[in-house]
A and B are shown apart, each in its own frame.
Chain A
Amino acid sequence: MQDGTSARQEIALRIDGRGRRPDSVRLRRLNILVGALSLPLFVGLWELVSRSGAVNMVLFPPPTVVAAAVLEWMRSGQFFGDLLASLFRVTAGFIVGGALGVLLGILTGQFPVISSLLSPLFHILRPIPPIAFVPIVILWFGLSEAGKLFLVVWGVFFTVWLSTHIGVQKVDRGLIRAALMLGTPRRQMLQEIVLLGALPYIVVGLRTAVSISFYTLVAAELAGTFAGIVYRIEIAQQNLQTGQVMGGLAALGLISFLADRLFAALAERTVWWR
């Protein structure tokens, strides 16, 4: 009894108000501090190295030059045109490719005949990197927006199709049997059980497709266009404006990071029972 009480007091002493042990709290604070300093530290280092004369400043401009290039890009009004053009391609391609992927994934996952018809074709086309389609897309569509859209849709579609297909097939047979026993008609099984059962897989597929849509955007814009972030990077490269190139890369990174975060937050809400 005595021992039990003293052990409990001991634990109480070692746990702070939030119920964590003090040394773990100290460690967390240290981690947060280091995390907050990480970017400024590397940016500072980059500035120093660039200006030290050890590297060619034209090829490896310091962050201040990059920032100036980005500001100039924004002030010239080109930035928002580029941003809009790129965002449109990514978003439209993602929505069309994702919708087609989910639709066909449900069809091939649910109906063996449709799967026998389409799956072999999809499995042959799927491993071909979308970038390899650039030449034929230029032949088919020229430099039009349709060609850009085609590439992004192509990249997004297969990932979403495959994960939806697998999700539908992996729906717990036990759930379907339970639903049958409760009088669920077979024709309502899709909406009552299969779709929701496959939802976690579909969401994972869509999230992977977010980054894929940015990869294919790069291919699409390198194939030749008149506006877009990657297009701007390419133009800057031809003019040896390295600061502008790096600014473009940073903008691309930031946008795709934000898109991924946004989708992750959305996904959390979609699979509400987790």
Chain B
Amino acid sequence: MKPALASSPASVEPARKQPAIQVSNLSIVFDSNRRQIIAVDRLSFDVAPGEFVCIAGPSGCGKSTMLNTIAGLEVPFEGDILVEGSRVYSPRPDVGMVFQQPHLFPWKSVRRNIAHGPRMLGKSTTEANAIADDLIAMVGLKRFADAYPNTLSGGMQQRVAIARALANRPRVLLMDEPFGALDAQTRAVMQDNLLELRDRIKATIVFVTHDIDEAIVLADRVLIMSAGPGRVLREVAVKLPRPRSNSIMVEPTYLALKKDCLDVIRAEGLRAFNQSDAS
């Protein structure tokens, strides 16, 4: 971390209406084989408390890198990330993460996977198990509480991963293409599940996806990113009524939004293609 940036978190005003996440001027650079790869270039955006933001963009534009940096797993090259007003230095329990792969601990049962977080934060085993059992009920896996991850289907594993990320009651939930590896039908069910869950947990959610339909169905706002290094190309507010379900995909307002998004994506795709042709 640059010393110039390392002002103490206490100096930040805890104003009531501050954004849940503030990303300002964020650049992330990787060194590989004496070559520097700029994964994210001066990216800025805010997420309001309780908002559900989806980030869509082409493969390799730096979505995962950006999300990992908000999570504190990666260090920014320059720029600032504030979560709930305080700077992110390392992973913190008020920020939860669901990865594209479930990454469940294979040696722990579903219940003990979910109880891991609370246990690490100093809760007793009984308390942690109680929290886990509530979440297991919430994601509909009561019958599988004592099962090991390798006996579950991909969709069930990802439900456990979501429940595990929620067990520490994070204020911010980051999701990196969590349904990317699932088939279309399971994915639709998972989207409905997530929409239901979100109405109960009231966390701020940043959700990365390739799938523009998924983005519009879930989000309050969709950020469309350019090809790498990623910038925000366009923000699309999704003013569709809630509670929502997957079935809004046939409404005319939905289709108009989708056309907007696809136009932006197509124009960007063409630009990126011509650029790579020229160079």
In the complex, A180→B93 CA distance in Å? 9
Chain B interface size range:
20 to 34
- Find chain A residues with CB under 8 A from B168 CB: 182-183
Q: Known contacts being A175-B103, A177-B99, is A182 close to B117, with CB within 8 Å?
A: yes
In the complex, A185→B91 CA distance in Å? 10
Interface check A174, CB cutoff 8 A: yes
- Find chain B residues with CB under 8 A from A273 CB: 106-108, 148-150
Chain A interface size range:
20 to 34
Interface check A184, CB cutoff 8 A: yes
State the main secondary structure of chain A at its contact with B: helix
Interface check A179, CB cutoff 8 A: yes
Interface check B95, CB cutoff 8 A: yes
In the complex, A237→B161 CA distance in Å? 65
In the complex, A177→B247 CA distance in Å? 35
In the complex, A196→B104 CA distance in Å? 13
Q: Known contacts being A180-B73, A181-B95, A181-B165, is A175 close to B105, with CB within 8 Å?
A: yes
A159-213 with Cβ < 8 A to chain B: 172, 174-175, 177-185, 188, 192-193, 196, 199
- Find chain A residues with CB under 8 A from B92 CB: 183
In the complex, A180→B71 CA distance in Å? 10
B contact residues vs A (CB 8 Å cutoff): 71, 73, 90-93, 95-97, 99, 101, 103-108, 116-117, 120-121, 148-150, 161, 164-165, 167-168
Question: Can you report 20 A-B residue pairs in the complex whose CB atoms are below 8 A from each other?
Answer: A174-B101, A174-B103, A175-B105, A177-B73, A177-B103, A178-B99, A178-B164, A180-B91, A182-B93, A182-B117, A182-B120, A182-B164, A183-B93, A183-B120, A183-B168, A184-B116, A184-B120, A199-B107, A273-B106, A273-B108
A contact residues vs B (CB 8 Å cutoff): 172, 174-175, 177-185, 188, 192-193, 196, 199, 272-274
Given A178-B164, A180-B73, list of 8 further CB < 8 A pairs? Answer: A174-B99, A175-B103, A181-B73, A182-B164, A183-B168, A184-B120, A185-B120, A188-B120
